[in-house]
Amino acid sequence: MKVIAVGTDGSATADKALEFAIDLAALHDAKLVVLSAYNSNPSAWVSGVMAAGWMDPGPIEPQWNPQEAERVEQLLAHAERRAQKRGVECSTASREGDPAETLVELAERHEADVLVIGNRGMQRRVLGSVPNTITHKARCSVFVVRTN
């Protein structure tokens, strides 16, 4: 393994996946790429979901806010520092879009040999399961970390 990618959204589940990916990268002397997705217009997305009758979201979670991209950048910078403290070469990447689709695309772009994800999904995903989608669509191996 030369490149290990890991998806994160700042949740406890993603944090466990990140820690596992850092350990794996250190063990294999591999480069780590920490990936995330964001939504720059969450209120429009929630309105569209409600209008389609898919769900009643209740209160919008804190991660659904207009500063999403900025929050993701801070999250990625923190993850990068954690990896570097362990002596792991690390870079980060993020893009606006659906979390599962975005992680699959970014892992492919970075030529990841494996994509590490937590088993509980990402907090920003309302419909479907991020891990399920990733395991079906990723072109690289996927390692699902049991986090519960």
For residue range 37-86, what is the model confidence (pLDDT) as tens digits?
A: 988 765 544 444 444 444 444 444 433 333 488 889 999 999 999 999 99
**Residue 85 burial class via C-beta count within 10 angstroms: exposed 0-12, middle 13-18, buried 19 and up:** exposed
| pLDDT at residue 127 greater than cutoff 60 | no
pLDDT per position as a tens digit, 41-55: 655 444 444 444 444
Q: Where are the domains of the chain?
A: 8-127+138-145
- Return the pLDDT at 43: 52
The residues pairing with 114 across neighbouring beta strands, listed in sequence order, are: 4, 141
Question: Against a cut of 0.75, is the pTM above it?
Answer: yes
Q: What is the mean pLDDT of residues 136-142?
A: 95
Q: What is the mean pLDDT of residues 15-37?
A: 97
Beta strands 114-118; 90-96: pairing state: unpaired
Exposure string for 37-51, b = 16+ CB within 10 A, e = fewer: bbbeebeebbeeeee
Residue 114 belongs to what H/E stretch?
strand 114-118
Pick the CATH number of 8-127+138-145 from 3.20.20.70, 3.40.109.10, 3.40.50.620, 3.30.930.10: 3.40.50.620
Alpha carbon distance 28, 94 (integer Å): 24
